């Protein structure tokens, strides 16, 4: 019994807690860059560590020691606090992820709502960051981020609602255990929902074709334009954490969480392994999408979401309800 507090501290901070996820975030950035480069017949990060695996960490450290500028007319309180809140938000949300079994480090009834809220709140933070910078590029980027939120948030929620109906639970642990005893959600009528989820996730993560709030060729870096140094490093870290979070959520909701063929006695080792491997799979899909599309325009994005994504996600809910009823 005396080990209990130590175990929970270990779980929260080391594995599968913050340290694990931060490490995974850097690893994901490397994987993302490497895979993207491979598709373009480039080499990607190469020299820092074996095959450049330490490059994201090197970039992080480099940004950390760079000069940190705050624009003169920026709203300093908001401007300075946004990166920290972003990072904290993502670290909190990520503890919900069931890496080791049915439930994450934190688990309660209705925790899926917290996950959705975290994603929406991230967008609000993006808006605050852009708006408080008082730069024209940032303002336009912030405006675009909110417009984009109007487009992708509803399909994202509806696709998650589909999952909840299918598994009959609003708790991530419940959804995962349902998938453990039944089919994986992706094998059922949720395939459509999975696709919608990935498309919306691409928008949430601001990646091509939906990297509109920071379209480099149009508005320089969008809402991040004015950030530099330490704050930029934190923002980049929290965006990598968001990437990890969304892939983990996709795995938990659709790909059966950490479950897979198990060998007795090796569960503690195999479950996280399966979980991470499935996350790589999701990442591979996300990178492929990033590689094969051009960026769309904001009005095209919003009308695409309302014209196709939302009707499709409603249809998907309908199918799920019928499927459950049968």
Partner 1 sequence: MSGSVNSGYERLFDIPIGPQHPALKEPALITLKVEGEHVVGVGLDVSYNHRGIEKAAEYRTYVQNLYLIERICGICNVAHTLTFTQCVEGVQLKDAPERAKMLRVLVEELARIHSHLLWLGVAAHEIGFDTFFMYIWLDREVSLDLMEAFTGNRITSAYNIIGGVRRDLTPEITAKIRKGMDRLEERAKFYRKIVETEKTVISRTQSIGILPPEDAIRLSAVGPTLRASGIKIDARADDPYAAHASVPFNVITCDGCDSFSRILVRIDEIVESINIIRYCLEHLPSGPIINRLPRRVPAGEFISRVEAPRGELMHYLRSDGSDKPYRYKVKTPTISNLPSLVHMLSSKGRYVVNIADVPVILASIDPCFSCTARLEKNIGTYGKS
Partner 2 sequence: MSIIWEAYRQLFRPKSTEKYPFGNREEVSLPDGFRGKMILNRESCIGCTLCEKDCPSGAIVIIVDAKGKRPTFFLDRCMFCGQCQESCPKKCISYSKEFENAAYDRKSLEVR
d(CA 246, CA 55): 22
Return the range that interacts with partner 1 (CB under 8 A); candidates 149-157, 179-187, 271-279, 286-294.
Answer: 286-294
**What value does the CA radius of gyration of the chain take, rounded to a whole number of Å?**
20
- And the tokens for 185? 């959600």
Q: Please list, in sequence order, all residues whose beta carbon lies within 8 angstroms of the beta carbon of residue 182, skipping any fewer than 6 positions away.
A: none
Say whether residue 47 binds partner 1 (CB under 8 A).
no
φ/ψ bin of 162: left (φ > 0), alpha (ψ from -120 to 50), beta (otherwise): alpha
- And the tokens for 106? 């934190």
Work out which of 1, 3, 5, 41 binds partner 1, going by CB under 8 A. Answer: 41
d(CA 100, CA 138): 40
Work out which of 42, 62, 66, 324 binds partner 2, going by CB under 8 A. Answer: 42
Say whether residue 281 binds partner 2 (CB under 8 A).
no
How many chain residues bind partner 2 (CB under 8 A)? 11
Q: Please list, in sequence order, all residues whose beta carbon lies within 8 angstroms of the beta carbon of residue 185, skipping any fewer than 6 positions away.
A: 163, 166, 167, 175, 179, 193, 194, 253, 254, 255, 256
Shortest Å distance, C-beta 274 to partner 1: 30
Say whether residue 58 binds partner 2 (CB under 8 A).
no
Q: By 3-state DSSP, what share of the chain in percent is helix, strand and coil, each rounded to 5?
A: 70, 0, 30
Say whether residue 43 binds partner 2 (CB under 8 A).
yes
Residue with tokens 């967008």: 123
d(CA 322, CA 18): 40
Positions 148 through 177 that interact with partner 1 (CB under 8 A): none
Closer residue to partner 2, CB minimum distance, 38 or 75: 38
Return the range that interacts with partner 2 (CB under 8 A); candidates 38-46, 137-145, 178-186, 214-222.
Answer: 38-46
Widest distance between CA atoms in the chain: 63
Select the binding partner of residue 299 from partner 1, partner 2, none (C-beta < 5 to 8 A, by kind).
Answer: partner 1
Say whether residue 57 binds partner 1 (CB under 8 A).
no
Return the range that interacts with partner 1 (CB under 8 A); candidates 24-32, 106-114, 137-145, 271-279.
Answer: 137-145
Say whether residue 307 binds partner 2 (CB under 8 A).
no
Say whether residue 58 binds partner 1 (CB under 8 A).
no
Contact set with partner 1 (CB under 8 A): 39-42, 72-76, 134, 136-137, 140, 143-144, 208-209, 211-212, 215-220, 291-300
Contact set with partner 2 (CB under 8 A): 38-43, 46-47, 288, 291-292
């Amino acid at each position: 019994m005396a080990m209990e507090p130590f175990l929970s501290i270990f779980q929260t901070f080391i594995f599968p807690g913050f340290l694990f996820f931060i490490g995974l975030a850097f690893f994901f950035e490397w994987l993302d860059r490497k895979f993207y480069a491979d598709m373009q017949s480039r080499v990607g990060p190469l020299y820092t560590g074996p095959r450049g695996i330490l490059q994201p960490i090197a970039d992080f450290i480099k940004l950390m020691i760079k000069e940190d500028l705050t624009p003169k007319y920026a709203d300093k309180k908001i401007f300075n606090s946004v990166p920290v809140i972003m990072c904290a938000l993502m670290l909190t949300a990520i503890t919900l992820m069931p890496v080791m079994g049915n439930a994450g480090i934190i688990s309660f009834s209705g925790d899926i709502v917290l996950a959705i809220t975290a994603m929406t709140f991230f967008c609000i933070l993006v808006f605050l960051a852009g708006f408080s910078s008082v730069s024209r590029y940032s303002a336009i980027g912030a405006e675009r981020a909110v417009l984009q939120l109007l487009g992708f948030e509803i399909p994202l929620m509806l696709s998650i609602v589909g999952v909840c109906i299918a598994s009959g639970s609003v708790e991530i642990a419940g959804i995962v255990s349902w998938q453990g005893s039944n089919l994986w959600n992706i094998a059922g009528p949720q395939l459509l929902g999975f696709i919608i989820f990935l498309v919306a996730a691409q928008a949430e993560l601001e990646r091509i074709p939906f990297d509109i709030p920071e379209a480099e060729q149009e508005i320089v870096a969008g809402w991040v334009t004015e950030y530099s140094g330490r704050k930029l490093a934190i923002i980049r870290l929290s965006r990598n954490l968001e990437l990890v979070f969304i892939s983990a959520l996709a795995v938990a909701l659709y790909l059966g969480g950490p479950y897979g063929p198990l060998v007795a006695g090796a569960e503690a080792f195999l479950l996280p392994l399966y979980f991470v491997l499935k996350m790589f799979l999701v990442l591979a899909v996300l990178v492929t999408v990033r590689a094969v599309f051009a960026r769309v325009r904001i009005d095209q994005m919003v009308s695409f979401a309302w014209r196709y994504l939302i009707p499709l996600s409603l249809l998907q809910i309908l199918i799920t309800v019928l499927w459950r009823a049968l």
